[in-house]
Amino acid sequence: MPPHSHPQAQFVPISPDFDLKALVDSSNNFDFVTRIPLSVLNNHSSHQFEALVLNQVIREGKPLVIEGWAENLDPAVFSRKWLEDTLGSKRW
């Protein structure tokens, strides 16, 4: 544990009146994340999906949210048991 003299960041909660849209609209440094419903992707080929990921994520370095993707995942994957079985229980 650091000594009491060690500088610590202060937690300042975000105001419930915070206007995220106004911040994004007023700043060139922020963009809303691209969101695509899984139903739209189901109507396209895997090649088109790969091209989307290549352009959006790899080339532009921006996140891509696929809404509804989690419902298609096996719930056991990425569970605590899966993580411990796959990566061990060592604490970092």
The pLDDT tens digits along the chain (92 residues) read 556 677 788 888 999 999 999 999 999 999 999 999 999 988 889 999 999 999 999 999 999 999 998 888 888 887 888 888 888 877 76
Alpha carbons within 13 angstroms on the beta-carbon side of residue 6 total 5
Residue 3 falls inside a structural domain: no
By CB atoms closer than 10 A (0-12, 13-18, 19+), residue 88 is exposed
Residue 5 falls inside a structural domain: no
| pLDDT for residue 4 | 67
Question: Where in the sequence is the domain holding 80, given as residue range(s)?
Answer: 32-87
| pLDDT for residue 92 | 65
Residue 36 falls inside a structural domain: yes
Residue 23 falls inside a structural domain: no
Residue 57 falls inside a structural domain: yes
Residue 76 falls inside a structural domain: yes
Residue 53 falls inside a structural domain: yes
| pLDDT for residue 71 | 86
Residue 43 falls inside a structural domain: yes
Contact 66, 36 (CB under 8 A): yes
Contact 62, 34 (CB under 8 A): yes
- Structural domain count, the chain: 1
